[in-house]
Amino acid sequence: MMDWTDKHCRYFHRLLSRHALLYTEMVTTGALIHGDVARHLRFNAEEHPVALQLGGSEPADLAHCAKLGEQWGYDEINLNCGCPSERVQRGAFGACLMAEPQLVADCVKAMLDVVNVPVTVKHRVGIDKGESYEFLRDFVGAVSDAGCKTLVVHARNAWLKGLSPKENREVPPLRYEFVKRLKFDFPHLTICVNGGITTNEQVAEQLLELDGVMIGREAYHNPWWLASWDEAFYADGRGVLTREAAEEQMVSYMEREAAEHGTPWSAMARHMLGLRNGLPGARRWRQVWSDHRLKVLPPREVMALAHEGAQMAALARC
């Protein structure tokens, strides 16, 4: 989810669900050690609970960055051992780390030694075309022995060669049974599943045997889905914002970000383009919010144009 779940996206998603745990995009240790820490770690207080996802493979570097994450107020530090991209592999982290469980264990221990927040790991069920549950079990065993108590398991293998990151989310078959075997073999661990889940019914089915469900791109492309989660899974029946109210609050946020940090509204509006999916005029609404020629206008005027365009488009269909 690099370049997707930035702080603007997370602010928007928090408007739709009060309780879901939000994750940052993966931030590399190199970016934090040699780059602008504030740019990478600054977030809105409204985002809590929020986890910082790190990419790296050097225990000392990860410990340093985990400590930074705790100092900046993150509720959890997550180590990415699931990303299959070649760029990430060249940095010797991501999914290729599954081949080195002891190194991952050392990384986890180094982070746990310096922070008081939970340290979790996100990983795949395997790498390349191997179909060994024992490989997955041994990896989880090593990581849990180091002190990791929560694992988020993408239920597909990561093919390190021959597939693009997009293909790696679609081609390797889903093996939910592997994830459920992990919960059986490690009942004391919190085991969450990720991959291929697109409905509340599927979430509920997974929660019958597992402890949690992570949703990635489906939540991004269809964000209104999040608005059903608090009542469905957190017993919070207080109701949610309407789509219009969520958009209105995002516009207020855009105005605040522009005034305080000079952030253009287009950098924030892109994250809510799926908000009106399925509604009459949704396409025209998206087109207006995506129109770079309108960047010179304040976001509240763009919102008015978007609604006017959506209404006209909806009437034209009648």
Per-residue pLDDT of the chain (318 residues; tens, 9 = 90+): 667 899 999 999 999 999 999 999 999 999 999 999 999 999 999 999 999 999 999 999 999 999 999 999 999 999 999 887 666 555 567 889 999 999 999 999 999 999 999 999 999 999 988 889 999 999 999 999 999 999 999 999 988 887 787 887 888 899 999 999 999 999 999 999 999 999 999 999 999 999 999 999 999 999 999 999 999 999 998 887 899 999 999 999 999 999 999 999 999 999 999 999 999 999 999 999 999 999 999 999 999 999 999 898 877 775
| pLDDT for the residue 1 | 62
- In a shared domain, residues 123 and 153: yes
Hey, which residues are catalytic here? 83
- In a shared domain, residues 282 and 217: no
- In a shared domain, residues 259 and 192: no
- In a shared domain, residues 147 and 256: no
> Which distant-in-sequence residues (6+ apart) come within 8 Å of 82 by Cβ?
94, 95, 122, 123, 124, 154, 158
The Cα-based distances of 216 to 23, 100, 195 in angstroms read 10, 26, 8
| pLDDT for the residue 94 | 81
**Looking at residue 208, which CATH number applies to its domain?**
3.20.20.70
If DSSP codes are grouped into helix, strand and coil, which group holds residue 169? coil
DSSP state of 154: E
Q: Are 64 and 30 in contact (CB under 8 A)?
A: no
| Residue 1 within a domain | no
The Cα-based distances of 308 to 106, 224, 247, 274, 294 in angstroms read 56, 21, 14, 18, 15
Q: Residue 298 carries which side chain, given as an amino acid letter?
A: P
What end-to-end distance do the CA atoms of the chain give, in Å?
A: 38
| pLDDT for the residue 166 | 80
Strands 190-194 and 22-23, bridge-based pairing: unpaired
Q: Are 290 and 268 in contact (CB under 8 A)?
A: no
| Residue 153 within a domain | yes
- In a shared domain, residues 217 and 276: no
> Which distant-in-sequence residues (6+ apart) come within 8 Å of 207 by Cβ?
213, 233
Q: Are 209 and 193 in contact (CB under 8 A)?
A: no
- In a shared domain, residues 60 and 95: yes
Q: Which of 234, 263, 293 is the last residue of a domain?
A: 234
| Residue 178 within a domain | yes
The Cα-based distances of 25 to 58, 79, 144 in angstroms read 19, 11, 24
Q: Which of 183, 208, 234 is the last residue of a domain?
A: 234
| pLDDT for the residue 70 | 98
| pLDDT for the residue 239 | 80
| Residue 2 within a domain | no
- In a shared domain, residues 134 and 208: yes
- What the block records as the tokens of 290 is 């995506």
- In a shared domain, residues 13 and 142: yes
Q: Which of 234, 258, 274 is the last residue of a domain?
A: 234
- In a shared domain, residues 182 and 62: yes
Q: How many CB atoms lie within 10 A of CB 93?
A: 26
**Looking at residue 289, which CATH number applies to its domain?**
1.20.120
- In a shared domain, residues 72 and 38: yes
| Residue 99 within a domain | yes
Instruction: Give me the domain span that covers residue 42.
Output: 7-234
Going along the chain, which residue ranges are E strands? 22-23, 27-28, 50-55, 76-81, 119-127, 150-158, 190-194, 212-214
- In a shared domain, residues 277 and 228: no
What's the number of domains the chain is made of?
A: 2
- In a shared domain, residues 25 and 100: yes
DSSP state of 223: G
